[in-house]
Structure 1
Amino acid sequence: MSVKLSILDQSPIFKGETAREAFGHTLELARKAEQWGYHRFWVSEHHDTGSFVAGTSPEVLISYLLARTERIRIGSGGVMLQHYSPLKVAENFNVLATLAPGRVDLGVGRAPGGLHRSTKALQQGFGEGALSLDEKIAELKRYVDDALPDDHPFAGLKAYPVPPAAPELHLLGGSESSAELAAKLGLSYVFAQFINSSEETFEKSVRAYYGKFNGEGGAKPRLIVGVYAIVAGTDEEAASLRTEHKIVKVRLESGRSVNLGSVEQAEQYGKESGEPYELEIQDPIIHHGSPGTVREKLLAFASRYGIEELIVTTMVQDSAKRLRSYELLAEAFARVPAEG
């Protein structure tokens, strides 16, 4: 089968390096990704992460990358919409899509992208009557599609400028509820396996997405899966590049939950919430090995679930080896026949 490959880059700050150097690695990777034939290149949004990742403002970084690449789609993976006005996000991405028609993706996340301290700071001044997160996502879609209904309080309002081609809107998530929301709104759905390795949750989410998809207006379901992958010259070398990493889910008594990258972050999030909480620790699924090994693993996974696109993130603590991993993966998939 034919599987598109894309990249999610979180602009990690490697030991001994600066945020400026991290963004330099991101730019280099975006240019190489275009050269190697990757379909899209996304950057992330994280807050209050100290010295771990540099990307806090994806739309600003996207504009920089669009200006320094030529063909590859560039987008957010994703904008944490709970912190922002749907109109303003639509305007930001319409500006980008006007500057680079047909190349802009607007991936939207439902998570906070940080701890309680940064969430409170980002949402300072939000009062009663604010839209829920699900309502914000629906509102954003209306602005992107230029489809506010006549009975809307802001009927007639447009998100200017109106680009030649609207940014592609994708909903990111790692749960059955996010899959159901994407289906209800007729949106592309990106399941982040790299932050939720539960096979049961993934399968329930896939069934919910396809089973409940709203095809009104001609929309068609599109499932993209975000995966961890590490590729090296041999299986042994790739295994040696794996880092000690856990997926930690914080479950609050109120029913809210969030996935974080370490026990320390999860404990801090739980304490700052002011609620009783529990931690659930998972080992991430990391597709690692030689080019042939990883190609076989990913193709088997994609074939099993009918996945047409994988968006890959590679957590290797060496910028050169990380770059080489993406290059080897692209070469491996270039040898896969287009059909069959």
Structure 2
Amino acid sequence: MGIQLSLLDQSLIHDQATAVEAFQQTLELAQHAEALGYRRFWVSEHHDSDGVVGSSPEVLIAYLLAKTERIRIGSGGVMLQHYSPYKVAENFNVLAALAPGRVDLGIGRAPGGLPRSTKALQQDTVGTSMPLADKLVLLDRYIHNTLDAEHELYGIKAVPVPEVPAHLFLLGGGGASTELAGSLGIPYVFAQFINGDESLIQQAFASYRQHFKSVNDSKPQAVLAVSVILTDSDDEAQSLAAEIKNVKVHLESGRTLTVITVEQAEEFGKQSNEKYTVEVKEASVIHGSKNKVRAKLLELQKAYQLDEIIITVAMKEFNQRLRAIVLLQEAFSELTV
């Protein structure tokens, strides 16, 4: 069973860098990913962040599509809870018409920011928004122009109606997301870099396959998103990995969210107006030289019967991230030599 490799970039910004530089680096990574033969290149959605400038994936995707030729470009993911499914469908139908067969629409379940940014995004819809699962079903209908005749909005179209719609994915960490992705017959992406619990990952993919209903001959596509540090030596990679922590904020209401820093966790807790605790653990980061990382990725593929692995390179410096995707491509190319 072959494995497809793809990339997720978060448009990081550090120190004295500017947004212009961060987006230029994202573009360069996408162009190198295309030249190296990666399957797809995704960008993320974060709001009110000092460290990530990618707040509008639709806009960035359009730019990347115009600057590349073959690689699939998409979102990892659009935070649908904030938006109208109809408008998201329109946005991605435009993209799919501009670049037929190259557009992915990954939907995320997290808020993509702290409570105040969520409030700002949902300011006109508070109290009226439908559940995320219902939004995803409706989005799927709009994208494929299959709105049920019984629906109150039957007859409208998300214009344009492209010949090849965006490819819909659901990102999640287990739970109801597996059943939802399965019931819609769409690929499911488990974020291992957020939750590395092996038993939970196994259960998630088993649930996804169990609930999968084929649509237009679709087949289950199990995708794992992992965080990787890849360098020329195991020691260097180990040193870089030791600096990365997994920070979670646990709210009294029962919600748990993963953030980047302890400071963000504290701020999230304060903005939530709930009692909270902060948990800091070693991050789930695959690290090492190319042989070690390749072995681990192949191990994950076998363990979870993966169709694809999406890599996010957990390294601050742009040259390090670029070097890592080259080394990863070399590692898997050597298997076919």
Secondary structure in 1 aligned to 2:179? helix
In angstroms, what is the RMSD of aligned CA positions? 1.5
Over residues 229-254 of structure 1, what are the superposed CA-to-partner deviations in whole Å (9 max), with x where a residue is unaligned? 12111212222333622222333232
Pairing of 1:128-147 with structure 2 (within 5 A): 128-147=127-146
1:25 and 2:25 are equivalent in the alignment: yes
Pairing of 1:1-340 with structure 2 (within 5 A): 1-50=1-50, 52-242=51-241, 244-337=243-336
Distance 1:33 1:217, change over 3 A: closer
Partners of 1:177 and 1:122 in 2: CA distance: 24
Partners of 2:56 and 2:97 in 1: CA distance: 19
Q: Residue 285 of structure 1: CA displacement?
A: 1.7
Secondary structure in 1 aligned to 2:204? helix
Partners of 2:226 and 2:159 in 1: CA distance: 35
Partners of 2:153 and 2:281 in 1: CA distance: 44
Partners of 2:239 and 2:54 in 1: CA distance: 27
How many equivalent pairs are there? 337
Partners of 2:120 and 2:153 in 1: CA distance: 27
Q: Residue 214 of structure 1: CA displacement?
A: 2.3
Q: Residue 151 of structure 1: CA displacement?
A: 0.3
Moved over 4 A (4+): none
Partners of 2:251 and 2:141 in 1: CA distance: 32
Q: Residue 127 of structure 1: CA displacement?
A: 4.1
2:184 touches 2:215 (CA, 8 Å); kept in 1?
A: no
TM-score (norm 1): 0.95
Over residues 236-292 of structure 1, what are the superposed CA-to-partner deviations in whole Å (9 max), with x where a residue is unaligned? 222233362222233323233322122221222122112223334332221111111
1:197 touches 1:283 (CA, 8 Å); kept in 2?
A: no
Partners of 1:151 and 1:219 in 2: CA distance: 25
Secondary structure in 2 aligned to 1:218? coil
Amino acid paired to 1:111:
A
2:194 touches 2:284 (CA, 8 Å); kept in 1?
A: no
Over residues 9-28 of structure 1, what are the superposed CA-to-partner deviations in whole Å (9 max), with x where a residue is unaligned? 00001222111100010000
The unaligned stretches of length 5 or more in structure 2 are: none
Secondary structure in 1 aligned to 2:31? helix
Partners of 1:270 and 1:185 in 2: CA distance: 34
Amino acid paired to 1:39:
R
